[in-house]
Structure 1
Amino acid sequence: MHIFGNMFFLYMFGNNVNDKLGHIGYLCFYLGGAVFSGIGYTLISSNPILGASGAVAAVTGAYLVLFPKTLVTVVYWFIFIGTVEIRAMWFIALKLIFFDNILMADPSQNIAYNAHLAGYGFGILSMMGLLSIGLIDGGYKDLWFMLKQWNRRRQFHGAVSDGYDPHKGNLGRKAVSSRVENAPAISPQQQQIIDFRSRISGAMNSRNASQAAALYLELLDIDPWQTLPRQLQLDIANQLMAEGQWQPSADAYQKFLAQYSDYEHAEQVYLMLGLLYSRYLNRPQEAAEYLSKAKNKLSDPNQKTMCRQEIDRLGNK
């Protein structure tokens, strides 16, 4: 049962961490989690242990940092059976770490709780470190970004409540006199745009990608030049393609490239645009242009083969 639980959580959380780190990075991280959880265990206990729980805990801790807002569906059995959705951050921190390994720890069961805790610590701290120095691509959903936003709000509230003098520093609360200029009022259209962008982000955070895509198309009816934050814009473009909305999807990818030209995986977007223009929109010239850009940068052998085959197919038309 213990092994089954390990494999279940490794499958549930590990795939997304693997996507984020890449195959080699994920393998190195997993082995590092096994080593550091073992070291953490031996610092506290001298009993021999065998198992992969510490490495799985490291992967779970990494998931907490990388995808804290993702909703996890939990099945419960209390008088009746039902399901409830909980954010990954709270499920992992409260249930898997605190409840299972601290509050309900039972030494008589011969379970290496200390190895689990060391693994969680390694996973959380290593991912926070990699995000902080930019070795892995962050986004608006990860824990590092959430902490930075919280710190900015804290500094802002502190500056506003205590007063700020650039020459004398922060001297605490002080009375000031000033003339308040009337700020330009937000137009109804601007307010509508702000509301739509907030609703799109909320829908995507709630894993309702279909609703987010529909709201995005409504936003473009108000202002066709709107572009969302990087990961959100890419997620919307992918969702539109998955729904078979070929032209809106291509337009969303185009906006993404125009706004985020320095995206480190731009070749993936080039490939998607090439396939869209080639297979669905019957625009062979643009398809060949994007496929050629993708071919020179793709690293995945299967994608490179598909790209070359599509270019050859266009050439034979």
Structure 2
Amino acid sequence: MLIPLGTDRLPPGRPKITLILVIVNLLVFLGVAVAVRAGTTTHEEVIRWGAVTRMDFHPWSLVTSLFLHDPSGLGHVGFNMLFLWVFGQAVEARLGSLGFAIFYLVGGAAACLAHMVVTPAPAIGASGAVAAVSGAYLALFPRSTIRVLLFFLLIGVYHVPAIWFICFYVAIDLLSQASSFLGRSNDVANAAHLGGYAFGFSTAMLLLAIGVLPRTELDMLYLFKQRQRRKEMRAVAREFGSPFDHAGPAAATPRRVAEGTGPVSDPDAETRAEIVRHLRDGDDVGALDRYRAAPDTLTLKDADQADLGNRALAAGDAALAARAYAALLRKRGERPTGPGGPSDDFRLLLASILIRRLNEPAEAIPQLEVLARRRLSPESRGLMEALRAEAGLPPTVAEDPT
């Protein structure tokens, strides 16, 4: 079992709506539990009045069901509120308090509708709305890491990528729902969870795509575009070859032979090979640990260096990611692009890390000044202007499109 304890995306202020939702859910849970124990009402009456079901549907149940939990134990409400607290804070910071409140209720209603489509059984609980929040978190912060408590053979606290953690729970719901279709029913509203995930992820992606939410270098839409760029660069490299990563050493070999010096040993060759091997094997921890211990002068081929920075950022090591991206840009010099992606994309990402993650705006100013002279996409220019403002720089003068 994986239990989330927190994320590396802490909001700048207090998450008011998230806190209110947690408190309201706990108060309702305690009120119902006390009323049932006192004999004022029964669990069946609570279900009949507030649960969502297509057999005896009431419009208000799309909301009331979100605040009712099984009064027989703390597990149901406890896990839902823990997940809401962990993921809701960062999502609320992006959507704003009012936007998050509306999103939570609409996402919960969408999850209820998904449940009613699949099964006539009544359902209660905030898990559908919480799944919507988790889906939105996946779209907005796929590169973040989750601190989790692991209960499986080994017990301990670990850091895992958010995309793995959330997709793990999505996979569980998919398998459970498939099993229920085969006659192995359970007491979990898996369809509501899946509907919530789908609503949250798609809504957040739509808000990013149409510009309602400002784009960042950490959201899923940015990752999709970066992946497409890398795909295009690999296609170009396959068709025409890459002059950047192969021409240098080949041209230098005749000179060394002519001068009679013989091959020049590379003291970092073994370290470089180990890092690349870890990258190829998918061993992020090994690659990052080896690179962390290597001298600052060590660099890999462009694609590997970019991959190293991306994995460091995904692992939550902003300082190591900044070091990797800075080394890549130093190696490229004035080259506008290369395997791994355009230089200006990495320059923008590096500036964002320095300002927003490492609180080193002075170190980001040289990168921002270079970017100010570049022709950037509207999205990249918008992010660059925002970073300039955060670094205390004046806005750039927009170029005349004519």
Regarding TM over 0.5, the answer is: yes
Return the match for 1:123 from 194, 197, 200.
200
Give the distance between the partners of 1:210 and 1:157, measured in 2 at CA.
28
User: Residue 220 and residue 45 in structure 1: after superposition, are their counterparts in 2 closer, same or farther (change >3 A)?
Assistant: closer
Q: Which moved more, 1:48-57 or 1:151-160?
A: 151-160
User: Residue 115 and residue 192 in structure 1: after superposition, are their counterparts in 2 closer, same or farther (change >3 A)?
Assistant: closer
**Residue 277 of structure 1: aligned partner:** none
SS of 1:262 mapped into structure 2: helix
**Residue 77 of structure 1: aligned partner:** 151
Return the match for 1:204 from 297, 313, 334.
313
**2:85 pairs with 1:11:** yes
Amino acid at match of 2:76: H
For the 8 Å contact 2:145–2:162, the answer to whether it is kept is: yes
Give the distance between the partners of 1:253 and 1:113, measured in 2 at CA.
47
**Residue 110 of structure 2: aligned partner:** 36
Aligned length: 253
1:209 is displaced (CA, Å) by 0.9
Which 5+ residue runs of structure 1 have no aligned equivalent? 164-179, 275-289, 294-317
**2:355 pairs with 1:237:** yes
Give the distance between the partners of 2:306 and 2:388, measured in 1 at CA.
23
CA offsets 1:23-51 (integer angstroms, 9 cap, x no match): 33323322220121122222233344333
Give the distance between the partners of 1:122 and 1:232, measured in 2 at CA.
32
TM-score (norm. length: structure 1): 0.61
* C-alpha RMSD over aligned residues: 4.3
SS of 2:392 mapped into structure 1: helix
**Residue 48 of structure 2: aligned partner:** none
CA offsets 1:236-268 (integer angstroms, 9 cap, x no match): 233442xxx563244455556565683168456
**Residue 97 of structure 1: aligned partner:** 170
1:56 is displaced (CA, Å) by 0.7
**Residue 213 of structure 1: aligned partner:** 322
**2:392 pairs with 1:262:** no
Return the match for 2:362 from 227, 243, 247.
247
User: Residue 149 and residue 220 in structure 1: after superposition, are their counterparts in 2 closer, same or farther (change >3 A)?
Assistant: closer
1:66 is displaced (CA, Å) by 2.5
User: Residue 182 and residue 219 in structure 1: after superposition, are their counterparts in 2 closer, same or farther (change >3 A)?
Assistant: closer
Give the distance between the partners of 1:83 and 1:224, measured in 2 at CA.
41
**2:136 pairs with 1:59:** no
User: Residue 246 and residue 59 in structure 1: after superposition, are their counterparts in 2 closer, same or farther (change >3 A)?
Assistant: closer
Give the distance between the partners of 2:199 and 2:149, measured in 1 at CA.
28
Give the distance between the partners of 2:161 and 2:218, measured in 1 at CA.
12
Give the distance between the partners of 1:219 and 1:159, measured in 2 at CA.
20
Give the distance between the partners of 2:112 and 2:373, measured in 1 at CA.
48
For the 8 Å contact 2:110–2:195, the answer to whether it is kept is: yes
Return the match for 1:273 from 392, 395, 398.
392
1:70 is displaced (CA, Å) by 2.6
For the 8 Å contact 2:348–2:367, the answer to whether it is kept is: no
Give the distance between the partners of 1:193 and 1:160, measured in 2 at CA.
14
CA offsets 1:264-304 (integer angstroms, 9 cap, x no match): 68456425427xxxxxxxxxxxxxxx5xx7xxxxxxxxxxx
CA offsets 1:145-187 (integer angstroms, 9 cap, x no match): 44456667778989999x9xxxxxxxxxxxxxxxx89957654
For the 8 Å contact 1:236–1:252, the answer to whether it is kept is: no
SS of 1:273 mapped into structure 2: coil
User: Residue 55 and residue 148 in structure 1: after superposition, are their counterparts in 2 closer, same or farther (change >3 A)?
Assistant: same
CA offsets 1:48-106 (integer angstroms, 9 cap, x no match): 43332211110111122232333323322334423444332222122x22225643878
For the 8 Å contact 2:348–2:384, the answer to whether it is kept is: no
User: Residue 155 and residue 221 in structure 1: after superposition, are their counterparts in 2 closer, same or farther (change >3 A)?
Assistant: closer
For the 8 Å contact 2:131–2:193, the answer to whether it is kept is: yes
**2:191 pairs with 1:114:** yes
SS of 1:74 mapped into structure 2: strand
Give the distance between the partners of 1:65 and 1:14, measured in 2 at CA.
13
1:234 is displaced (CA, Å) by 1.0
Which 5+ residue runs of structure 2 have no aligned equivalent? 1-74, 250-296, 335-342, 396-402
TM-score (norm. length: structure 2): 0.50
Amino acid at match of 1:98: A
